[in-house]
């Protein structure tokens, strides 16, 4: 079990930013406009304003196949091979990647129309609570190592090519592609 799982990280509800939420001295009061909550307690609602929302974590890098922001796992694999990564962070990240390898199916090999795969991307379903909890742990490790990750939530991610209990694999619509 990684020590990361027991850490409470506070994150701004609008931007996902963790800056400005450092632990404060006893008796101090946080800014009243800040929405503070624990990422371990933050489970995405299935319905937002009456709509089912899909979640994607992205980095600042552009994926050479899909031509949109690279996802969480691309950023994690880049970091795990960084020789400057501290050992405890390496083992925590490796543990999370191993967990996802066992509990998240790779959709590319299950497609009937393989020619669409290079431009398609994965989105978590909001009902995949355990997957999302571990994804947030991974985000924490990445951000502590100066890899910025942002969260995108959409109602209609694109043409769905594959779906299972935890994720969908979709070729993004043009309007979604513009925010990725």
- Cα of 145 vs its chain's centroid, Å: 15
Is the pLDDT at 32 greater than 80, yes or no? no
**Taking a C-beta distance cutoff of 8 angstroms, is the pair 168, 125 a contact?**
yes
Q: What is the pLDDT of residue 168?
A: 93
Indicate left, alpha or beta for 27 from its phi (over 0: left) and psi (-120 to 50: alpha): left
Please report which confidence band the pLDDT of residue 26 belongs to, taking 50, 70 and 90 as the band edges.
Answer: very low
Q: What is the mean pLDDT of the chain?
A: 76
Strands 47-48 and 51-52 turn out to be antiparallel
pTM: 0.69
Per-residue pLDDT, averaged over 160-171, amounts to: 91
Per-residue pLDDT, averaged over 168-180, amounts to: 84
Lookup: tokens for 3: 């020590």
162 vs 38 pLDDT, higher one? 162
Measured in degrees and rounded to the nearest 5, phi and psi for residue 177 equal -55, -35
Is the pLDDT at 144 greater than 80, yes or no? yes
């Amino acid at each position: 079990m990684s020590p990361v799982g027991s850490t409470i990280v506070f994150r701004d509800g609008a931007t996902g930013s963790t800056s400005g939420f450092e632990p404060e001295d006893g008796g101090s009061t946080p800014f009243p406009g800040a929405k503070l909550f624990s990422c371990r307690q933050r489970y995405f609602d299935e319905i937002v304003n009456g709509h089912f929302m899909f979640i994607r974590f992205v980095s600042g890098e552009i994926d050479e196949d899909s031509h949109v922001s690279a996802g969480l796992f691309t950023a994690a694999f880049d970091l795990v091979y960084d020789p400057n990564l501290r050992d405890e962070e390496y083992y925590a990240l490796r543990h999370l990647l191993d967990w996802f390898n066992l509990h998240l199916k790779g959709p590319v090999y299950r497609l009937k129309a393989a020619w669409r795969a290079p431009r398609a991307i994965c989105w978590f379903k909001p009902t995949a609570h355990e997957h999302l909890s571990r994804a947030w742990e991974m985000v924490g490790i990445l951000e502590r190592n100066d890899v910025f990750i942002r969260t995108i939530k959409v109602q209609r991610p694109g043409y769905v090519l594959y779906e299972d209990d935890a994720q969908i694999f979709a070729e993004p619509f043009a309007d979604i592609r513009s925010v990725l």
